[in-house]
Homo-oligomer: A and B are copies of this chain.
Amino acid sequence: MVANSEFFMNLALKEAWKYQGLTYPNPAVGCCVVSESGAILSVEAHKKAGLPHAEVEALKSAYFKLTNDEFILKLTNSADIHKYLIQNHNGIFKNCSVYTTLEPCSHIGKTPSCADLLSLLSIKKVYVGALDTNPEAACGNKKLLDADIEIQNGVLEAKCKELLYPFERWSKDKFVFFKWAQRLNGTYDGGIITSKESRKNVHDMRDKCDLLVIGGESVRIDRPTLDARLVDGKAPDILIYSRKSEFDKTIPLFKVEGRKVIISDNLDIIQKYKNIMIEGGANMFEATRDIVDRYLCYIAPKVGGSKVFNTNIEEFEILNILQDDKDIIMWLSSRQLIDEHNLG
């Protein structure tokens, strides 16, 4: 293993994937700051809309590592961190390199521009994974060049584009992902399967979704709530995908306030939504193959159970594996989809 630019970019990528799906209306981005001698000063990610961008989080941590100035740790607002760094950096970043999975933003939105911040701190070199195709935020590289900062584009570009893909789909149209949870041996019957940590992550995802699609059979058998209570989040609208429209309305999901519940055997309703999670088992998996952009699989390291995720063959590419305190959380893409894209 060699600690080269791919290694540092990979650290930024791994950190960013932890927050995949949780950053809308912003993309998931990771950032790593490295000293002149090659020491890792920080690795951070953008965690949530309203919180600082990845670059700002990483520069804050790097500043603390270099100065031990605890004052900055109290600052959580992006504008405050920008201001404090600009006033107090004293040139400590001048030989540092920054690895960012996405071209630094150039527009001033909820926070000042990251490209401006990097320029003002006289960063030596910025390694960029994917270029920003969002016209509002792009041109960060141009600002960096104008400030005489070296740029190296395309470091682990394919991986960085993959990290960005859900956001790009979401911005241009909508992002649809299929989520399932299972034991190691593919079973998903018999009560709660995954750890509390994993279920919190699912609730966090639900909070960021506007529509959750679920099969009628799951609703009848599991009588779910399908809200985001574990993170005090907002419950998404529900599409119960079912030919029969009769449901016992005492099932908890119908009682969640402020949500719409649609019962339909027509998936076209998803066209009205932007961030769509499909939850379910093998039947929903089969029914939604043509509309799913990415898959999200939670695996609890157990065997046992009897009802299995039995489907026709589908091959995946593993995009990221995350291990929480207990389970595996894995983002996947269909190989068929990849092949079709390559043909197209």
**Quick one: closest B residue to A35, CB to CB?**
B37
Q: Which of B3, B11, B301, B312 contacts A315 (CB 8 A)?
A: B301
Chain B residues positioned under 8 Å from A309 (CB to CB): 184-186, 303
Task: Given A186-B187, A311-B185, A311-B303, answer yes or no on A328-B323 (Cβ-Cβ < 8 Å).
Answer: no
Q: Which of B15, B37, B321 contacts A38 (CB 8 A)?
A: B37
Mark each residue of chain A from 305 to 322: 1 if its CB lies under 8 Å from any CB of chain B, else 0. Answer: 110111111111110010
Check A192 for interface membership: any CB of B closer than 8 A.
Answer: no
For A15, A186, A316, the residue with the greatest tally of chain B CB atoms inside 10 Å of its CB is A186
Q: For residues 194 through 217 of chain A, which have their beta carbon under 8 Å from a beta carbon of chain B?
A: none
**Quick one: closest B residue to A41, CB to CB?**
B3
Check A297 for interface membership: any CB of B closer than 8 A.
Answer: yes
Does A3 contact B185, Cβ atoms closer than 8 Å? no
Q: Which of B35, B182, B285, B302 contacts A313 (CB 8 A)?
A: B302
Q: Which of B38, B41, B185, B315 contacts A308 (CB 8 A)?
A: B185
Assign chain A's interface to a size class.
35 or more
Shortest A14–chain B CB gap in Å is 8
Check A332 for interface membership: any CB of B closer than 8 A.
Answer: yes
Check A304 for interface membership: any CB of B closer than 8 A.
Answer: yes
Mark each residue of chain A from 40 to 60: 1 if its CB lies under 8 Å from any CB of chain B, else 0. Answer: 111110000000000000000
Q: For the complex, what is the distance from the CA of A321 to the CA of B329, rounded to whole Å?
A: 12
7 A-B pairs with the lowest CB-CB distances in the bound complex, closest first: A186-B186, A304-B313, A38-B39, A185-B186, A37-B37, A3-B40, A185-B309
Residues of A bordering B, CB below 8 Å: 1-3, 7, 11, 15, 35, 37-44, 61, 65, 182-187, 285, 297, 301-306, 308-318, 321, 323, 326, 328, 332
Q: List 21 A-B contacts (CB under 8 A).
A: A1-B42, A3-B41, A3-B43, A7-B40, A38-B40, A39-B39, A182-B186, A183-B186, A184-B186, A185-B311, A186-B186, A187-B310, A301-B315, A301-B332, A302-B315, A302-B316, A306-B310, A308-B310, A318-B323, A318-B326, A318-B328
